[in-house]
Structure 1
Amino acid sequence: MTASFNSRNAIAVLIIAGLLLLPVYSQLSGNVFVLTLFTRIVIFALAAVSLNLIMGYGGMMSFGHAAYLGIGGYAVGILAAEGIGSGFVQWPVAIACSALFALVIGALSLRTRGVYFIMITLAFAQMAYYVASGLARYGGDDGLTIYKRSNFGGLINLSSRVQFYYLCLGCLFGGIYLVSRIVNSRFGLVVQGLRSNEQRMQAIGFPVNRYRLVCFVIAGMLCGLAGALLANNTDFISPAVMYWTRSGDLMVMVILGGMGSLFGPVLGAIVYLVLEEFLSQVTEYWALIMGPLLLLIVLFGRGGIMGLVGRLTRG
């Protein structure tokens, strides 16, 4: 148990150190692409961390989590198109809209369990996708170009690759810290108890749906923040961000790294997106190679990469 704990801590320290020092390596080596790639990875890692809160700790298998990425991104894009460029307005609106959408979805879907819950979350995400596709004023299917990034009154320049990377990294670490505080609080212990034995927690007297709903909304808000970062990173937002396959990508990241571990989703996002980038440069049929690789890791690495490392250390 101690070895597993120490190995997870060692991986977490390596991840933190590597991500913090990455811009230094990028500047010394002149490799700008690696900074661009890892900015994208950090953003999706934040989205995966938010999904891990409800899936890894709460046992809620949401197949529509990418909807919040799109909602956060469109909130930034639409406000920018209407002449509101302040990040102090755009980002709170992105988080609030994501929270409201999560509240509506959660209030309806959390009355169900199992495959029914999965299908309802998927259905709502697809509804958001088709609504965004029908927004002709904001690009429709073609997406919306964002001509100017969020303005924070000179406090930070989002056009600077290094500053924007560290902003994304700060949001990721903040998200991980928030999830850590939540899961170790009384509220978080109740949510984890609901995953293990809902009937017993309900018999004790805990309002089951209320706890799940609050957890669901918090996860939606974190993912909405990731959506705001993504829109600023690409200077573009499209309905494709909300499509169900993107939700599947987030689920793979969480499962690959290790559900129910703080840094598992971050490790999963790094491995998944680096593999995707590497294989796509080797062959156009990269998915045929990546699929079996991920399948092998999931089959033989119970608990994801974090779980596999723990077992190897104990062995």
Structure 2
Amino acid sequence: MMRERYINAALLGGLLLVVFWAYTGDEPFTITLATRVAILALAGVGLNIALGQGGLVSLGHAVFFGIGGYAMGILASHAQSYQPLTLGPLVIEGTKSMPLIWLTAMVASGIAALLIGLVSLRTGGVYFIMITLAFGQMFYYFAISWPAYGGEDGLSIYVRNGFPGLNTLDPIQFFGLCFALLLAALAFHAAFKHAPFGLALNAARQSPDRAQAVGLDPTRLRLIAFVISGVITGLAGALFADLNRFVSPTMFSWQLSGELLIFIILGGTGRLCGPVAGAAMFIALEHWLGGLSEYWHIYLGALLLGVVLFAPGGLIGIATRREAAHD
């Protein structure tokens, strides 16, 4: 039986082969599409920790994605204008350094996830979904009404931020950077799943009462997972903003939160590389079918319906089931 890790390796290797083909064929647009897959898959990995491991169906994860994007946009815009950011008595210099921007995005997203989680995790089920959606809409409309950073029109960054030793304007080098971060997040998730905390979180997801009976605190476990999830998604948001050199309130939209859920459902909820498979399928459909019709989401909806009804394990689940059947 071909194990799931070989399928995961094939997925990641396939993405690299596509980029290699595009690089040798001088197709920078294809490299940019692959970079988008890597970044959105990274955001999906973040949500997969909360959803796949913790059972938390969040319809507001775009909050952390948008916070990461705006952290990049605000810091880079102040570096661009040579004007420091003043927050009361605190004066912060702008920066074009990716590592500093990533750190800021991750810390800001983590703090937001902690505060949102403290409120949202007091509920469960559909109420949790609606509260996370409400937070997403609050941030969305706040960004629209924030004229200092573009308001509804968004904020443009004219030059991509820098990383030591790399030319980030080169599509292949920027892809390599995003792909390396995706691999790091996947490695973290793999270790997280089998660590004592991950096993305790999984137990709390399956049976909160039993977990509590043996001394575990399900709410605390879910809150920590929610914060970790927000941190990873915030990093993806900063990368996405750097890819486009643009941030806008749409990064907070509930549609984006829904897309992240779609990535995981298509690839396989709880599967390590489920977000990679789902993001690749989504971007491929958007690219190929989007050129044929502006209503390409109809076909996506049909595919999603088929996966939910006939393949609840997602695309990776289909592959592993076929291998099991052959054995």
Alignment partner, residue 282 of structure 1:
292
**Which of 99, 121, 138 matches 1:127?**
138
The one-letter code of the counterpart of 1:127 is M
Alignment partner, residue 21 of structure 1:
17
Residue 212 of structure 1: how far off its partner (Å): 1.0
**Matches of residues 83-102 of structure 1 in structure 2 within 5 Å?**
83=79, 84=94, 85-102=96-113
Aligned pairs, number: 310
Asked if 1:172 corresponds to 2:168, the answer is: no
- Which deviates more, 230-239 or 87-96? 87-96
TM-score normalised by length of structure 1: 0.95
TM-score normalised by length of structure 2: 0.92
Query: Is the Cα–Cα contact under 8 Å of residues 53 and 219 in structure 1 kept in the other structure?
Result: yes
Write the distance in 1 (CA, Å) between the matches of 2:176 and 2:246.
Answer: 20
The one-letter code of the counterpart of 2:240 is L
Write the distance in 2 (CA, Å) between the matches of 1:21 and 1:307.
Answer: 23
Query: Is the Cα–Cα contact under 8 Å of residues 279 and 290 in structure 1 kept in the other structure?
Result: no
Query: Is the Cα–Cα contact under 8 Å of residues 63 and 119 in structure 1 kept in the other structure?
Result: yes
Write the distance in 2 (CA, Å) between the matches of 1:88 and 1:51.
Answer: 22
Residue 286 of structure 1: how far off its partner (Å): 1.3
Note the aligned Cα RMSD (angstroms): 1.2
Structure ranking higher in helix proportion: 1
Alignment partner, residue 312 of structure 2:
302
Query: Is the Cα–Cα contact under 8 Å of residues 7 and 309 in structure 1 kept in the other structure?
Result: no
> Tell me, which stretches of 5 or more residues in structure 1 are unaligned?
none
Write the distance in 1 (CA, Å) between the matches of 2:54 and 2:217.
Answer: 14
> Tell me, which stretches of 5 or more residues in structure 2 are unaligned?
80-93
Percent of residue pairs bearing the same amino acid type: 44
Asked if 1:137 corresponds to 2:143, the answer is: no
Alignment partner, residue 117 of structure 2:
106
Residue 32 of structure 1: how far off its partner (Å): 2.0
Write the distance in 2 (CA, Å) between the matches of 1:150 and 1:31.
Answer: 23
1:187-221: CA deviations, max 9, x gaps?
A: 00000001100000011111222111111101000
Write the distance in 2 (CA, Å) between the matches of 1:248 and 1:27.
Answer: 32
Alignment partner, residue 80 of structure 1:
76
Alignment partner, residue 48 of structure 1:
44
Write the distance in 2 (CA, Å) between the matches of 1:205 and 1:220.
Answer: 26
- Which deviates more, 290-299 or 223-232? 290-299
1:19-38: CA deviations, max 9, x gaps?
A: 23333211222222211111
Write the distance in 2 (CA, Å) between the matches of 1:176 and 1:42.
Answer: 11
The one-letter code of the counterpart of 1:207 is D
Write the distance in 2 (CA, Å) between the matches of 1:54 and 1:73.
Answer: 20
Query: Is the Cα–Cα contact under 8 Å of residues 132 and 239 in structure 1 kept in the other structure?
Result: yes
Residue 109 of structure 1: how far off its partner (Å): 0.6
Write the distance in 2 (CA, Å) between the matches of 1:140 and 1:33.
Answer: 29
